[in-house]
Amino acid sequence: MADHATPDIVPLLGRGHHRTMRKGACFMEMASYLAGEKWSDHPRCTHPLLGELARDVNDAVSDDTRQRLAPMIPDVVGLNPTDPRVDAWIARLATIAALPISAYATQRVVAVGLLRCERMLAEIESRPSYDLSPLASDAFSDAPEAATWAHDFVRQIGVPSGRRTGRTFASETGPVIVRHCVSGIAQATVRDREERLLQLLHQAIDLCRVAQAQPESRRYDVEPFARRSG
């Protein structure tokens, strides 16, 4: 893959969609420019859920913090791993970051999202759906009330499974989980919420980079890039 670098003169990153660079640019619009694609905030060069996370973080942080995202833009160009677990991995990373600091109402939604991620991974990996990963177990220990509520909720309504559900997770469920998580972090009362959002995007980029660099493996118990947010 060719090296990509931000141009010497770029517009200040702004919230939302921009019709042309002269009107401004968001994170993913600049990625489309660097990739030589048609101007868009949904370029094909980047994994769709990573792009969703980048757009959400771009829009959630302050104007000053948003400019600190610029050095990460070249990192997402050409970063589109095909491993079917990547959507669930990214969404799970977001839930782990959001769960301990979100308001309780959001915590419950995030906790259900984490269970959805775990169910999706269990299905892909052909293991029991109740077999939670250590990452999920640790995250739930930080929010026990939300975890109990989520488990009860899922038991009552069930979680669909099957190949169609995998497609739905990639196109609908994953993006919804990520949006709720970013919103939960952005509205949290912790002082370093914007630093946490930047860290989450960094971690998701690292995750995708490792997933793309190594061939799809059946060694599902090893995820060296899955790190908890501090």
User: For 45-75, how does the pLDDT look when each residue is reduced to its tens digit (9 = 90+)?
Assistant: 999 999 999 999 999 999 999 999 999 999 9
Contact call for residues 220 and 126 (beta carbons, < 8 A): no
Q: How confident is the model at residue 130 (pLDDT cuts 50, 70, 90)?
A: confident
Contact call for residues 188 and 101 (beta carbons, < 8 A): yes
Q: Which of 110-119, 130-139, 176-185 has the lowest mean pLDDT?
A: 130-139
Over 60: is that where the pLDDT of 141 sits? yes
Over 90: is that where the pLDDT of 223 sits? no
Q: How confident is the model at residue 216 (pLDDT cuts 50, 70, 90)?
A: low
Q: What is the pLDDT of residue 14?
A: 75
Contact call for residues 193 and 186 (beta carbons, < 8 A): yes
Q: How confident is the model at residue 172 (pLDDT cuts 50, 70, 90)?
A: very high
Give the whole-angstrom CA distance, residue 61 versus residue 58: 6
Q: What is the pLDDT of residue 189?
A: 96
Neighbouring C-alpha atoms within 13 Å toward the C-beta of 143: 27
Total Cβ atoms within 10 A of residue 41 = 19
Q: Is the dihedral of CA 193, 194, 197, 198 positive or negative?
A: negative
Q: What is the pLDDT of residue 159?
A: 63
Over 60: is that where the pLDDT of 230 sits? no
How big is the CA angle at 171 (ends 126 and 113), to the nearest 5 degrees? Answer: 65
Total Cβ atoms within 10 A of residue 9 = 5
Q: Which of 79-83, 90-94, 218-222 has the lowest mean pLDDT?
A: 218-222
Mean pLDDT of 102-125: 94
Over 70: is that where the pLDDT of 27 sits? yes
Over 70: is that where the pLDDT of 167 sits? yes
Contact call for residues 26 and 58 (beta carbons, < 8 A): yes
